[in-house]
Amino acid sequence: MLWTYSSLWLLTGACAAQASHISGYGFLLDGGSNQHSEPRHASADSAVARLILAQRMGLSRFHHLPDATEETIGLVNGFGGPPQQFFGRDASNKDQSRVMLWVDGLEHPQSQIPILDRFDSLSISSVPHPSEALQLFSSFCAEAKQLGKAPMPGSRVTVALSSLHWLEQSMVKSYDGRSLVHIKVSPPLDTQHRSQVTALNDAIVKLHALSLTGDLTLSVVFMPPEWLFSERAADASSAHAHIKRGHAPSPLEAPLTSPETTPQAPKVKAAQAPQKPQTSKTSLAGAVPTCFASLSACKSGTNNCTGHGECLLKYKGSGSASGDCYGCLCTIPEVRKNKDGSKKTTRFGGAACQKKDIVMPFWLLAGTSIFIVSIVSWGIGLLYSMGNEDLPSVIGAGVSGPRSK
C-alpha cells in the first residue's frame, strides 16, 4: 500500500495535531563542489521535508505536493541535493551515490554526534508518530527498488556502513546507487544505547569524509522518541477528561472538542448505509507494486484497481520460495457522453489501472505529424531539385546574335 505511505505526510491527521510541538531533524550534506562554505539552517513542515528527502534520493518522480508556493519550491531546490538531468543522472557527477540514515529515538542528536554541526540542518515540524514515519522510509525503499539506472554504490560506502550491520535494531537496504539505513536507538538508560550511538557516530564520520571526495549525497533524518508522543497523548487525554467532567470549554478549546458528543441515530444510520465506496478512482501517489500476496491486499493497495478493473490471481506460488501473486486486470473502461451525443471511451492500464491508455491517440498524433513533415520535406526538396536543373536549349533557339554592320 505504497500510495498511503508516500501521502501520509501530506495528511498527518490527529498525530500531527497532538505532536504540533514535536519536531524532527534532518542533516544534509552534498559532496564535492555542491558543498557550501557555511552550514545552512531552515525549517519546513513534514510535507515539504518529504519532497526534499525524495529529491535527494532521486525519487522525486514518485512524490508531489499540490499548491506549492515559491517558498516551498525554493526550499526543495536549495536543500534537494545536486540537480538532475532529464534521464535521472546527476549533472555534476554521474557516479554519485545517495545515502539516507533514518534514526528513531535520539532526542538531541547534535550533542551526541558533534560532526553534525558541519551539515546543513532542516527542522521538521509536526512530524507523525515514529511508527507512521517508518512507513515513509519503507516507501522510499520500495521506490528505490524500482529504479535500476544509477550505478551501484562504491565499496567505500559499504565499508562506511559496515559498523551499522551488527546492530540488532537496524536495517540496511541498497538499491543501485541508493543506500537506505534505518536504526532504532534504545532509550538512554538501556545498556545498548551508548554502543548504538557510537556506531552511528562512526558511520556518519566515515560518510562525511567520503563526501569530501565528491561522490556522495548524504541525508541523516532523526525522528523523536516515542515517549514524547506518549506524553503529548497523555496531556490531550487529561484535557479531554477535564472537559468531560463538566467544565465549559473556552473559545480556544472549542475547536478541539468532538462534534459527535451527542449521538444522532438518523445521521449514524445514513452514514453507515453506503458501504459501496470502497472503490475509489482517486489517483495513487508513489510506486504501486505489481504483485500482492492476497486478494484483500490487492484491493486495499490499489483502491480496488481505482474502479477501472478487478483484482485476480495472476499465478500461484510454487512451494515456500514464492507465494501467490494477485494483480489488477484493467477491464472496465470509462465511457463519457459528449454534448453532440457521441461517446468517448477511455481505457486504463498500469499496476493499479490508474494510468490512461493513450497508445491510439499517441500513434494517431505521431503518424499525422510524421506524414505532414514528410510531405513538406518532399515538397521543399522537389522545388530545390527543379531549381538546380539546366534550362532547355529550346529557349535560346529563337534568339539571334547581333547583326554585323
d(Cα 299, Cα 295) in Å, to the nearest integer? Answer: 6
With vertex at residue 301, the alpha carbon angle to CA 319 and CA 334, rounded to the nearest 5 degrees, is 120
CA distance 17 to 128: 9
- With a pLDDT cut of 90, the percent of the chain lying above it is 12
- The verdict on 214 and 328 lying in the same domain is no
Report yes or no on 47 lying in a domain: yes
Residues belonging to the chain? 405
Task: Give the mean pLDDT of the chain.
Answer: 75
The answer to whether residues 94 and 205 belong to one domain is: yes
The larger pLDDT score, comparing residue 192 to residue 276, is at: 192
**175 pairs with which residues across the strands?**
178
Check residue 397 and give its pLDDT: 55
pLDDT at 4: 43
Does any domain span residue 319?
yes
Residue 27: inside a domain, yes or no?
A: yes
Is residue 256 in a domain?
no
The structural domain count of the chain equals: 2
* Structural domain boundaries, residue 342: 295-356
Question: Would you place residue 152 in the very low, low, confident or very high pLDDT band (cuts 50, 70, 90)?
Answer: low
Strongest mean pLDDT among 55-59, 156-160, 366-370: 366-370
Domain assignment of residue 384, yes or no: no
Please give the Cα distance from 360 to 45 (Å, whole number): 42
Report the C-alpha gap between 324 and 314 in whole angstroms. 8
pLDDT at 151 over 90: no
- In this structure, of 26-40, 59-73, 301-315, the range with the lowest mean pLDDT score is 26-40
Rounded mean pLDDT, 199-204: 90
Same domain, 220 and 329: no
Which of 140-144, 178-182, 290-294 tops mean pLDDT? 178-182
**Which carries the bigger pLDDT value, residue 199 or residue 88?**
199
Q: How far apart are CA 122 and CA 45, in angstroms?
A: 10
Does any domain span residue 223? yes
C-alpha gyration radius of the chain: 31
What value does the mean pLDDT take over residues 177-189? 86
Q: How confident is the model at residue 84 (pLDDT cuts 50, 70, 90)?
A: low
pLDDT surpassing 90 at residue 155? no
Return the top range by mean pLDDT from 74-88, 286-300, 315-329: 286-300
pLDDT tens sequence across 331-387? 888 888 888 888 888 888 888 888 888 888 889 999 999 999 999 999 999 888 887
Q: Write the pLDDT tens digit of every residue in 286-297.
A: 677 878 888 888
Nearest to 204 by CA among 79, 41, 27: 27
Query: What's the whole-number mean pLDDT along residues 254-264?
Result: 42
Q: At what angle do helices 130-146 and 46-56 cross, to 10 degrees?
A: 30
Judgement on whether residues 22 and 142 belong to the same structural domain of the protein: yes
pLDDT above 50 for 183: yes
On whether the CB atoms of residues 126 and 14 are closer than 8 A, the answer is no
Name the pLDDT band for 122 (thresholds 50, 70, 90): very high
90 pLDDT higher than 60: no
- Domain co-membership, 111 together with 196: yes
Q: Say what the pTM is.
A: 0.56
The CA dihedral of 287, 292, 295, 296, to the nearest 10 degrees, is: -60
Q: Which of 213, 156, 202 is nearest to 179 (CA)?
A: 156
Domain-terminating residue out of 356, 374, 399: 356
9 in a structural domain:
yes
Proportion of the chain above pLDDT 70, given as a percent: 68
Q: What are phi and psi of 334, to 5 degrees?
A: -105, 120
Q: Note whether residue 264 is domain-resident.
A: no
Q: Which of 202, 228, 254 is the last residue of a domain?
A: 228
110 or 213, greater pLDDT? 110
Same structural domain, 212 and 315: no
